[in-house]
A and B are shown apart, each in its own frame.
Chain A
Amino acid sequence: MRPITQPKNCLAKRIIPCLDVKNGRVVKGTHFRDLRDAGDPVELGKKYCDLGADELVFLDITATLEERKALRDLVGRIAREINIPFTVGGGISSIEDVRNLLLAGADKVSICSAAVRDPGLVKRASEHFGAQCIVISIDAKRSASGWNVYIKGGTESTEVDAIAFAKKMEQLGAGELLVNSLDRDGTKKGFDIELLAKICGLVNIPVIASSGAGSMRDFLDVFQKAKVDAALGATIFHYQEIDLKDLKRFLSQNGLPIRL
Protein backbone atom coordinates (compact mmCIF):
# COMPACT_ATOMS: atom_id res chain seq x y z
CA MET A 1 0.00 0.00 0.00
CA ARG A 2 1.27 3.39 -0.86
CA PRO A 3 1.69 5.70 2.09
CA ILE A 4 -0.69 8.62 2.13
CA THR A 5 1.41 11.74 2.19
CA GLN A 6 -0.20 14.68 3.84
CA PRO A 7 1.26 18.15 3.58
CA LYS A 8 2.97 18.95 6.83
CA ASN A 9 1.24 21.48 9.01
CA CYS A 10 2.57 22.15 12.49
CA LEU A 11 0.20 24.96 13.48
CA ALA A 12 -0.49 24.25 17.15
CA LYS A 13 -3.92 23.78 18.66
CA ARG A 14 -4.37 26.60 21.16
CA ILE A 15 -5.57 26.46 24.77
CA ILE A 16 -7.01 29.77 25.94
CA PRO A 17 -7.94 30.56 29.56
CA CYS A 18 -10.72 33.13 29.84
CA LEU A 19 -10.83 35.62 32.70
CA ASP A 20 -14.02 37.48 33.61
CA VAL A 21 -13.17 40.95 34.81
CA LYS A 22 -15.43 43.23 36.83
CA ASN A 23 -14.31 46.66 38.03
CA GLY A 24 -10.72 45.76 37.25
CA ARG A 25 -10.76 42.53 39.27
CA VAL A 26 -11.13 38.94 38.19
CA VAL A 27 -14.34 37.38 39.38
CA LYS A 28 -14.49 33.63 40.03
CA GLY A 29 -10.85 33.96 40.87
CA THR A 30 -11.21 33.57 44.63
CA HIS A 31 -10.55 29.84 44.67
CA PHE A 32 -6.95 30.17 43.56
CA ARG A 33 -4.94 28.87 46.42
CA ASP A 34 -1.39 29.62 45.35
CA LEU A 35 -1.70 33.28 44.47
CA ARG A 36 -1.24 36.19 46.80
CA ASP A 37 -3.62 38.45 44.95
CA ALA A 38 -6.27 36.17 43.53
CA GLY A 39 -8.26 38.96 41.98
CA ASP A 40 -5.67 40.81 39.91
CA PRO A 41 -6.13 40.13 36.17
CA VAL A 42 -2.50 40.87 35.35
CA GLU A 43 -1.13 38.53 37.98
CA LEU A 44 -3.52 35.75 37.00
CA GLY A 45 -2.75 36.30 33.35
CA LYS A 46 0.96 35.98 34.05
CA LYS A 47 0.42 32.78 36.02
CA TYR A 48 -1.44 31.27 33.06
CA CYS A 49 1.34 32.43 30.73
CA ASP A 50 3.88 30.56 32.83
CA LEU A 51 1.71 27.45 32.78
CA GLY A 52 1.70 27.51 28.98
CA ALA A 53 -1.46 29.37 27.95
CA ASP A 54 -1.29 30.08 24.22
CA GLU A 55 -3.41 33.22 24.46
CA LEU A 56 -5.63 34.92 27.02
CA VAL A 57 -9.14 36.33 26.81
CA PHE A 58 -10.29 39.05 29.20
CA LEU A 59 -14.04 39.47 29.26
CA ASP A 60 -15.22 42.70 30.85
CA ILE A 61 -18.55 42.29 32.57
CA THR A 62 -18.63 45.80 33.97
CA ALA A 63 -21.92 47.54 33.42
CA THR A 64 -21.45 51.30 33.38
CA LEU A 65 -19.69 53.59 30.94
CA GLU A 66 -17.68 55.22 33.72
CA GLU A 67 -16.27 51.87 34.80
CA ARG A 68 -15.45 50.99 31.20
CA LYS A 69 -12.88 53.78 31.06
CA ALA A 70 -10.96 52.02 33.81
CA LEU A 71 -10.82 48.99 31.53
CA ARG A 72 -8.53 50.88 29.17
CA ASP A 73 -5.99 51.38 31.96
CA LEU A 74 -6.19 47.70 32.82
CA VAL A 75 -5.65 46.69 29.17
CA GLY A 76 -2.58 48.92 29.11
CA ARG A 77 -1.20 47.17 32.19
CA ILE A 78 -1.84 43.74 30.68
CA ALA A 79 -0.08 44.77 27.45
CA ARG A 80 2.97 45.99 29.37
CA GLU A 81 3.30 42.85 31.47
CA ILE A 82 2.18 39.94 29.28
CA ASN A 83 4.24 38.57 26.39
CA ILE A 84 1.60 36.49 24.57
CA PRO A 85 -1.42 37.69 22.56
CA PHE A 86 -4.61 38.62 24.36
CA THR A 87 -8.19 39.42 23.38
CA VAL A 88 -10.50 41.83 25.17
CA GLY A 89 -14.28 41.55 24.97
CA GLY A 90 -17.48 42.67 26.62
CA GLY A 91 -19.88 45.45 25.65
CA ILE A 92 -18.03 46.55 22.49
CA SER A 93 -20.55 48.38 20.31
CA SER A 94 -18.71 50.93 18.17
CA ILE A 95 -15.59 51.54 16.10
CA GLU A 96 -14.53 53.92 18.88
CA ASP A 97 -14.68 51.09 21.45
CA VAL A 98 -12.54 48.90 19.18
CA ARG A 99 -10.04 51.68 18.54
CA ASN A 100 -9.69 52.49 22.26
CA LEU A 101 -8.96 48.90 23.25
CA LEU A 102 -6.47 48.34 20.41
CA LEU A 103 -4.71 51.62 21.22
CA ALA A 104 -4.54 50.57 24.85
CA GLY A 105 -2.64 47.45 23.70
CA ALA A 106 -5.16 44.66 23.09
CA ASP A 107 -4.12 42.37 20.23
CA LYS A 108 -7.70 41.48 19.37
CA VAL A 109 -11.19 42.49 20.39
CA SER A 110 -14.18 40.22 20.71
CA ILE A 111 -17.56 41.55 19.56
CA CYS A 112 -20.76 39.78 20.59
CA SER A 113 -24.26 41.38 20.73
CA ALA A 114 -23.28 44.34 18.56
CA ALA A 115 -22.39 42.00 15.69
CA VAL A 116 -26.00 40.77 15.70
CA ARG A 117 -27.60 44.19 16.07
CA ASP A 118 -25.27 45.91 13.60
CA PRO A 119 -23.43 43.47 11.27
CA GLY A 120 -22.04 46.49 9.39
CA LEU A 121 -19.88 47.20 12.43
CA VAL A 122 -17.96 43.97 11.78
CA LYS A 123 -17.22 45.02 8.22
CA ARG A 124 -16.16 48.53 9.23
CA ALA A 125 -13.99 47.29 12.08
CA SER A 126 -12.32 44.70 9.86
CA GLU A 127 -11.60 47.25 7.12
CA HIS A 128 -10.26 49.77 9.64
CA PHE A 129 -8.09 47.56 11.78
CA GLY A 130 -7.62 44.33 9.81
CA ALA A 131 -9.44 41.00 10.10
CA GLN A 132 -6.69 39.60 12.32
CA CYS A 133 -7.87 41.60 15.34
CA ILE A 134 -11.63 41.09 14.99
CA VAL A 135 -13.00 38.09 16.89
CA ILE A 136 -16.76 37.49 16.71
CA SER A 137 -18.24 35.80 19.73
CA ILE A 138 -21.39 33.79 19.02
CA ASP A 139 -23.74 32.68 21.82
CA ALA A 140 -25.69 29.76 20.35
CA LYS A 141 -28.54 27.70 21.80
CA ARG A 142 -30.32 24.69 20.32
CA SER A 143 -33.74 25.31 18.79
CA ALA A 144 -36.21 22.95 17.13
CA SER A 145 -34.40 23.21 13.80
CA GLY A 146 -30.81 24.03 14.67
CA TRP A 147 -29.19 26.73 16.80
CA ASN A 148 -30.28 30.30 17.44
CA VAL A 149 -28.04 33.23 18.27
CA TYR A 150 -28.59 34.85 21.68
CA ILE A 151 -27.51 38.33 22.74
CA LYS A 152 -26.98 40.34 25.94
CA GLY A 153 -24.94 37.70 27.69
CA GLY A 154 -27.22 34.88 26.61
CA THR A 155 -30.34 36.43 28.13
CA GLU A 156 -32.19 37.42 24.97
CA SER A 157 -32.99 35.15 22.05
CA THR A 158 -33.03 36.21 18.41
CA GLU A 159 -34.37 34.57 15.26
CA VAL A 160 -30.89 34.46 13.77
CA ASP A 161 -29.60 31.01 12.78
CA ALA A 162 -26.18 30.49 14.36
CA ILE A 163 -24.63 28.51 11.49
CA ALA A 164 -25.70 31.02 8.83
CA PHE A 165 -24.58 33.83 11.12
CA ALA A 166 -21.10 32.30 11.44
CA LYS A 167 -20.73 32.23 7.64
CA LYS A 168 -22.01 35.79 7.36
CA MET A 169 -19.48 37.00 9.93
CA GLU A 170 -16.65 35.40 7.95
CA GLN A 171 -17.87 37.15 4.80
CA LEU A 172 -18.05 40.50 6.61
CA GLY A 173 -14.42 40.22 7.67
CA ALA A 174 -14.24 38.41 11.01
CA GLY A 175 -10.74 37.06 11.60
CA GLU A 176 -11.81 34.40 14.07
CA LEU A 177 -14.99 32.97 15.62
CA LEU A 178 -15.46 32.23 19.31
CA VAL A 179 -18.40 29.85 19.61
CA ASN A 180 -20.20 29.51 22.95
CA SER A 181 -22.89 26.92 23.55
CA LEU A 182 -25.51 28.16 26.02
CA ASP A 183 -26.79 24.57 26.35
CA ARG A 184 -23.42 23.33 27.55
CA ASP A 185 -22.19 26.38 29.47
CA GLY A 186 -21.37 25.36 33.03
CA THR A 187 -22.59 21.76 32.56
CA LYS A 188 -19.19 20.04 32.23
CA LYS A 189 -20.81 17.63 29.78
CA GLY A 190 -18.33 18.42 27.05
CA PHE A 191 -18.30 20.87 24.16
CA ASP A 192 -21.19 20.96 21.67
CA ILE A 193 -19.28 18.97 19.03
CA GLU A 194 -22.15 18.96 16.53
CA LEU A 195 -22.49 22.75 16.54
CA LEU A 196 -18.74 23.30 16.32
CA ALA A 197 -18.19 20.71 13.57
CA LYS A 198 -20.92 22.33 11.47
CA ILE A 199 -19.33 25.77 11.79
CA CYS A 200 -15.78 24.49 11.21
CA GLY A 201 -16.92 22.70 8.07
CA LEU A 202 -18.42 25.88 6.71
CA VAL A 203 -15.87 28.61 7.37
CA ASN A 204 -12.21 29.03 6.46
CA ILE A 205 -11.19 31.12 9.48
CA PRO A 206 -10.04 29.85 12.88
CA VAL A 207 -12.77 28.68 15.29
CA ILE A 208 -12.42 28.73 19.09
CA ALA A 209 -14.61 26.28 21.02
CA SER A 210 -16.13 27.42 24.29
CA SER A 211 -18.53 26.11 26.96
CA GLY A 212 -18.93 22.68 28.48
CA ALA A 213 -15.40 21.41 29.15
CA GLY A 214 -15.38 19.04 32.11
CA SER A 215 -12.34 16.87 31.45
CA MET A 216 -9.15 16.62 29.43
CA ARG A 217 -10.93 14.09 27.22
CA ASP A 218 -13.49 16.78 26.28
CA PHE A 219 -10.69 18.95 24.91
CA LEU A 220 -9.25 16.06 22.90
CA ASP A 221 -12.71 15.26 21.51
CA VAL A 222 -13.44 18.78 20.38
CA PHE A 223 -10.09 19.07 18.58
CA GLN A 224 -10.34 15.64 16.94
CA LYS A 225 -14.04 15.53 16.11
CA ALA A 226 -15.00 19.15 15.48
CA LYS A 227 -11.58 20.16 14.06
CA VAL A 228 -11.56 23.43 15.99
CA ASP A 229 -8.36 25.49 16.12
CA ALA A 230 -8.52 26.47 19.76
CA ALA A 231 -10.46 25.73 22.94
CA LEU A 232 -11.35 28.08 25.73
CA GLY A 233 -11.75 27.25 29.40
CA ALA A 234 -12.69 29.36 32.39
CA THR A 235 -13.77 27.86 35.70
CA ILE A 236 -12.16 24.53 34.92
CA PHE A 237 -8.76 26.29 35.04
CA HIS A 238 -9.66 28.80 37.75
CA TYR A 239 -10.72 26.10 40.20
CA GLN A 240 -7.73 23.97 39.20
CA GLU A 241 -9.93 21.07 38.16
CA ILE A 242 -7.60 20.72 35.20
CA ASP A 243 -3.98 21.77 35.26
CA LEU A 244 -3.07 23.63 32.09
CA LYS A 245 0.31 21.91 31.83
CA ASP A 246 -1.17 18.43 32.30
CA LEU A 247 -3.83 19.18 29.70
CA LYS A 248 -1.30 20.26 27.09
CA ARG A 249 0.89 17.23 27.75
CA PHE A 250 -2.17 14.93 27.47
CA LEU A 251 -3.21 16.46 24.13
CA SER A 252 0.33 16.23 22.80
CA GLN A 253 0.62 12.56 23.85
CA ASN A 254 -2.59 11.94 21.92
CA GLY A 255 -1.01 13.20 18.74
CA LEU A 256 -2.19 16.81 18.56
CA PRO A 257 0.26 19.57 17.59
CA ILE A 258 0.67 21.42 20.89
CA ARG A 259 3.16 24.05 22.02
CA LEU A 260 4.75 22.57 25.14
Chain B
Amino acid sequence: MIAIIDYKAGNVASVKNAFNRLGVECLITSDHETILSAQGVIFPGQGRAGTAMKELKRSGIDTAIKNITRPFLGICLGMQLLADFSQEDDTECLSIIKGKCQKLPSVLKTPHLGWNKVEFVGNSPLIEGIRANSPYFYFVHSYYFSPLNNDCLVGKTPYGFDFASMVQKDNFFATQFHPEKSGKIGETLLSNFCKLCGR
Protein backbone atom coordinates (compact mmCIF):
# COMPACT_ATOMS: atom_id res chain seq x y z
CA MET B 1 0.00 0.00 0.00
CA ILE B 2 1.16 3.51 -0.87
CA ALA B 3 0.32 6.24 1.66
CA ILE B 4 -0.57 9.71 0.37
CA ILE B 5 0.03 12.21 3.16
CA ASP B 6 -2.98 14.42 3.82
CA TYR B 7 -1.98 17.67 5.52
CA LYS B 8 -4.74 19.90 4.15
CA ALA B 9 -2.54 21.25 1.38
CA GLY B 10 -3.90 20.71 -2.03
CA ASN B 11 -5.21 18.22 -4.44
CA VAL B 12 -4.50 14.81 -2.87
CA ALA B 13 -7.35 13.33 -4.92
CA SER B 14 -5.52 13.82 -8.21
CA VAL B 15 -2.56 11.81 -6.89
CA LYS B 16 -4.93 9.06 -5.72
CA ASN B 17 -6.61 9.04 -9.15
CA ALA B 18 -3.22 8.58 -10.78
CA PHE B 19 -2.41 5.50 -8.66
CA ASN B 20 -5.89 4.12 -9.27
CA ARG B 21 -5.25 4.39 -13.02
CA LEU B 22 -2.06 2.36 -12.48
CA GLY B 23 -4.05 -0.18 -10.47
CA VAL B 24 -1.94 0.39 -7.35
CA GLU B 25 -3.60 0.43 -3.94
CA CYS B 26 -3.17 3.71 -2.06
CA LEU B 27 -4.61 5.50 0.92
CA ILE B 28 -5.00 9.19 1.76
CA THR B 29 -3.97 9.47 5.40
CA SER B 30 -2.56 11.63 8.17
CA ASP B 31 -2.04 8.73 10.57
CA HIS B 32 1.63 8.37 11.62
CA GLU B 33 1.60 4.59 11.88
CA THR B 34 -0.01 4.15 8.50
CA ILE B 35 2.54 6.52 6.99
CA LEU B 36 5.49 4.72 8.63
CA SER B 37 4.30 1.22 7.76
CA ALA B 38 3.39 1.95 4.11
CA GLN B 39 5.47 0.45 1.30
CA GLY B 40 5.93 3.93 -0.11
CA VAL B 41 4.89 7.47 0.74
CA ILE B 42 3.70 10.33 -1.45
CA PHE B 43 3.99 13.87 -0.11
CA PRO B 44 1.91 16.05 -2.45
CA GLY B 45 1.20 19.70 -1.98
CA GLN B 46 -0.25 22.91 -3.24
CA GLY B 47 -0.68 26.11 -1.35
CA ARG B 48 1.62 28.10 0.87
CA ALA B 49 4.76 26.90 2.67
CA GLY B 50 3.89 28.69 5.93
CA THR B 51 0.40 27.21 6.27
CA ALA B 52 1.63 23.77 5.26
CA MET B 53 4.51 23.68 7.80
CA LYS B 54 2.20 24.87 10.56
CA GLU B 55 -0.15 21.97 9.86
CA LEU B 56 2.73 19.46 9.63
CA LYS B 57 4.03 20.57 13.03
CA ARG B 58 0.58 20.66 14.62
CA SER B 59 -0.11 17.10 13.53
CA GLY B 60 3.41 15.82 14.25
CA ILE B 61 3.71 14.59 10.66
CA ASP B 62 6.97 16.58 10.37
CA THR B 63 8.68 14.14 12.76
CA ALA B 64 7.05 11.11 11.14
CA ILE B 65 8.39 12.14 7.72
CA LYS B 66 11.97 12.31 9.05
CA ASN B 67 11.64 8.71 10.25
CA ILE B 68 10.48 7.28 6.94
CA THR B 69 12.87 4.65 5.56
CA ARG B 70 10.72 3.48 2.63
CA PRO B 71 10.71 5.24 -0.77
CA PHE B 72 9.28 8.74 -0.42
CA LEU B 73 8.19 11.11 -3.21
CA GLY B 74 7.58 14.81 -2.61
CA ILE B 75 5.63 16.63 -5.32
CA CYS B 76 5.66 20.41 -5.97
CA LEU B 77 5.24 22.09 -2.55
CA GLY B 78 6.06 18.61 -1.20
CA MET B 79 9.52 19.03 -2.76
CA GLN B 80 10.03 22.57 -1.49
CA LEU B 81 9.18 21.60 2.09
CA LEU B 82 12.13 19.17 2.13
CA ALA B 83 14.49 22.18 2.08
CA ASP B 84 15.91 23.93 5.15
CA PHE B 85 14.06 27.14 4.53
CA SER B 86 11.53 28.80 2.20
CA GLN B 87 11.33 32.50 1.43
CA GLU B 88 7.58 32.00 1.16
CA ASP B 89 6.26 33.24 4.51
CA ASP B 90 9.88 32.98 5.84
CA THR B 91 9.31 29.36 6.74
CA GLU B 92 11.62 26.88 8.47
CA CYS B 93 11.10 23.63 6.57
CA LEU B 94 11.93 19.94 7.12
CA SER B 95 15.71 20.08 6.42
CA ILE B 96 15.81 16.73 4.67
CA ILE B 97 17.69 17.99 1.62
CA LYS B 98 20.01 20.95 2.18
CA GLY B 99 18.97 24.10 0.37
CA LYS B 100 16.40 26.87 0.32
CA CYS B 101 13.36 27.90 -1.71
CA GLN B 102 13.25 31.24 -3.47
CA LYS B 103 10.67 33.14 -5.48
CA LEU B 104 11.07 32.96 -9.26
CA PRO B 105 12.70 36.16 -10.61
CA SER B 106 10.04 38.80 -11.25
CA VAL B 107 11.08 39.21 -14.90
CA LEU B 108 9.62 35.76 -15.55
CA LYS B 109 5.91 35.07 -15.88
CA THR B 110 4.79 33.76 -12.53
CA PRO B 111 3.48 31.19 -11.78
CA HIS B 112 5.71 29.09 -14.03
CA LEU B 113 2.79 27.25 -15.54
CA GLY B 114 2.61 24.64 -18.26
CA TRP B 115 4.77 21.94 -19.86
CA ASN B 116 8.50 22.37 -19.62
CA LYS B 117 11.52 20.20 -20.29
CA VAL B 118 13.38 18.23 -17.68
CA GLU B 119 17.02 17.62 -18.55
CA PHE B 120 18.20 14.67 -16.54
CA VAL B 121 21.72 15.21 -15.20
CA GLY B 122 21.77 12.57 -12.48
CA ASN B 123 20.67 8.99 -12.22
CA SER B 124 17.55 7.75 -10.52
CA PRO B 125 15.47 4.57 -10.56
CA LEU B 126 12.42 6.79 -11.13
CA ILE B 127 13.54 7.92 -14.58
CA GLU B 128 14.08 4.45 -16.03
CA GLY B 129 12.79 4.48 -19.61
CA ILE B 130 12.21 8.24 -19.77
CA ARG B 131 15.60 9.85 -19.32
CA ALA B 132 16.34 10.37 -23.02
CA ASN B 133 15.38 13.49 -25.01
CA SER B 134 14.54 15.78 -22.08
CA PRO B 135 10.81 14.98 -21.78
CA TYR B 136 8.12 17.54 -20.98
CA PHE B 137 6.40 17.56 -17.58
CA TYR B 138 3.61 19.75 -16.21
CA PHE B 139 4.59 22.54 -13.78
CA VAL B 140 2.65 25.05 -11.65
CA HIS B 141 4.71 26.98 -9.10
CA SER B 142 5.99 30.40 -8.05
CA TYR B 143 8.91 29.31 -5.85
CA TYR B 144 11.78 26.98 -6.70
CA PHE B 145 14.10 24.77 -4.70
CA SER B 146 17.76 25.74 -4.78
CA PRO B 147 19.87 22.87 -3.37
CA LEU B 148 23.08 23.64 -1.49
CA ASN B 149 24.95 20.73 -3.11
CA ASN B 150 24.53 19.48 -6.62
CA ASP B 151 24.94 15.80 -5.60
CA CYS B 152 21.18 15.59 -5.05
CA LEU B 153 20.33 16.95 -8.50
CA VAL B 154 18.54 14.51 -10.84
CA GLY B 155 16.85 16.91 -13.26
CA LYS B 156 16.93 20.58 -14.16
CA THR B 157 14.57 22.78 -16.13
CA PRO B 158 15.33 25.85 -18.25
CA TYR B 159 12.98 28.76 -17.51
CA GLY B 160 15.12 31.80 -18.25
CA PHE B 161 17.61 30.11 -15.91
CA ASP B 162 18.10 26.47 -14.89
CA PHE B 163 16.37 25.39 -11.71
CA ALA B 164 16.29 22.02 -9.92
CA SER B 165 13.16 20.19 -11.03
CA MET B 166 14.02 16.77 -9.59
CA VAL B 167 16.21 15.85 -6.64
CA GLN B 168 16.91 12.81 -4.50
CA LYS B 169 18.73 11.91 -1.31
CA ASP B 170 18.75 8.35 0.00
CA ASN B 171 15.10 7.20 0.00
CA PHE B 172 13.76 10.74 -0.50
CA PHE B 173 12.80 11.66 -4.07
CA ALA B 174 11.18 14.91 -5.11
CA THR B 175 9.82 16.59 -8.24
CA GLN B 176 8.85 20.22 -8.76
CA PHE B 177 6.58 19.08 -11.62
CA HIS B 178 3.36 17.12 -11.24
CA PRO B 179 3.86 13.55 -12.51
CA GLU B 180 0.17 12.87 -11.78
CA LYS B 181 -0.78 15.49 -14.40
CA SER B 182 2.01 14.83 -16.90
CA GLY B 183 0.31 12.36 -19.22
CA LYS B 184 1.97 9.04 -20.07
CA ILE B 185 5.49 10.15 -19.16
CA GLY B 186 4.30 11.07 -15.67
CA GLU B 187 2.60 7.70 -15.33
CA THR B 188 5.88 5.98 -16.16
CA LEU B 189 7.66 7.90 -13.40
CA LEU B 190 4.96 6.98 -10.87
CA SER B 191 5.01 3.40 -12.06
CA ASN B 192 8.82 3.31 -11.53
CA PHE B 193 8.22 4.61 -8.00
CA CYS B 194 5.70 1.82 -7.36
CA LYS B 195 8.22 -0.78 -8.58
CA LEU B 196 10.78 0.63 -6.17
CA CYS B 197 8.21 0.22 -3.40
CA GLY B 198 7.75 -3.41 -4.37
CA ARG B 199 4.35 -2.84 -5.97
A interface residue numbers (CB < 8 A to B): 7-12, 14, 49, 54, 79-81, 83-85, 102-103, 105, 107, 130-132, 175-176, 204-206, 229-230, 259
Task: Check A9 against B111 for contact (C-beta < 8 Å).
Answer: no
Interface check B14, CB cutoff 8 A: yes
Q: Which of B14, B114, B136, B140 is A79 in contact with, Cβ under 8 Å?
A: B14
Task: Check B11 against A107 for contact (C-beta < 8 Å).
Answer: yes
Instruction: Write the nearest CB–CB distance from A17 to chain B, whole angstroms.
Output: 14
A interface, by DSSP: helix, strand, loop or mixed?
loop
Bound together, the chains give a CA A230 to CA B138 distance in angstroms of: 14
Q: Which residues of B contact A81 (CB under 8 A)?
A: 21
Task: Check A9 against B46 for contact (C-beta < 8 Å).
Answer: no
Q: Which of B53-61, B78-86, B123-131, B181-189 contacts A (4 or more CB under 8 A)?
A: B181-189
Q: Which residues of B contact A176 (CB under 8 A)?
A: 113
B interface, by DSSP: helix, strand, loop or mixed?
mixed
Task: Check B161 against A12 for contact (C-beta < 8 Å).
Answer: no
Instruction: Give the number of residues in B that approach A within 8 Å (Cβ atoms).
Output: 39
Instruction: Write the nearest CB–CB distance from B70 to chain A, whole angstroms.
Output: 25
Task: Check B140 against A132 for contact (C-beta < 8 Å).
Answer: yes
Q: Which residues of A contact B141 (CB under 8 A)?
A: 132
Task: Check A11 against B161 for contact (C-beta < 8 Å).
Answer: no
Q: Which residues of A contact B187 (CB under 8 A)?
A: 83
Bound together, the chains give a CA A204 to CA B106 distance in angstroms of: 9
Bound together, the chains give a CA A56 to CA B146 distance in angstroms of: 32
Bound together, the chains give a CA A230 to CA B115 distance in angstroms of: 11
Task: Check A102 against B11 for contact (C-beta < 8 Å).
Answer: yes
Interface residues of B in 90-144 (CB under 8 A from A): 106, 109-117, 134, 136, 138, 140-142
- Of the A-B pairs whose beta carbons lie under 8 Å apart in the complex, a sample of 28, sorted by A's number, is A7-B158, A8-B160, A9-B158, A10-B116, A10-B157, A11-B115, A12-B114, A12-B115, A54-B114, A81-B21, A83-B21, A83-B180, A83-B183, A83-B184, A84-B181, A107-B11, A130-B46, A130-B47, A132-B46, A132-B140, A132-B141, A205-B109, A205-B111, A206-B109, A229-B113, A229-B114, A259-B115, A259-B136
Interface check B87, CB cutoff 8 A: no
Interface check B18, CB cutoff 8 A: yes
B interface residue numbers (CB < 8 A to A): 11, 13-14, 17-18, 20-21, 46-48, 106, 109-117, 134, 136, 138, 140-142, 157-162, 180-184, 186-187
Instruction: Write the nearest CB–CB distance from B10 to chain A, whole angstroms.
Output: 8
Q: Across the two chains, which residue of chain B brings its CB closest to A7?
A: B160
Task: Check B186 against A83 for contact (C-beta < 8 Å).
Answer: yes
Bound together, the chains give a CA A10 to CA B108 distance in angstroms of: 13
Bound together, the chains give a CA A10 to CA B142 distance in angstroms of: 17
Q: Which of A9, A49, A132 is B113 in contact with, Cβ under 8 Å?
A: A132
Q: Which residues of A contact B47 (CB under 8 A)?
A: 130
Q: Which residues of A contact B113 (CB under 8 A)?
A: 132, 175-176, 206, 229
Q: Across the two chains, which residue of chain A brings its CB closest to B190?
A: A83
Q: Which residues of B contact A103 (CB under 8 A)?
A: 13
Q: Which of B20, B115, B186 is A54 in contact with, Cβ under 8 Å?
A: B115
Bound together, the chains give a CA A9 to CA B117 distance in angstroms of: 9
Instruction: Write the nearest CB–CB distance from B86 to chain A, whole angstroms.
Output: 15
Instruction: Write the nearest CB–CB distance from A166 to chain B, whole angstroms.
Output: 14
Instruction: Write the nearest CB–CB distance from A215 to chain B, whole angstroms.
Output: 24
Q: Which residues of B contact A259 (CB under 8 A)?
A: 115, 136
Q: Which residues of A contact B142 (CB under 8 A)?
A: 132
Bound together, the chains give a CA A63 to CA B96 distance in angstroms of: 51
Instruction: Write the nearest CB–CB distance from A101 to chain B, whole angstroms.
Output: 12
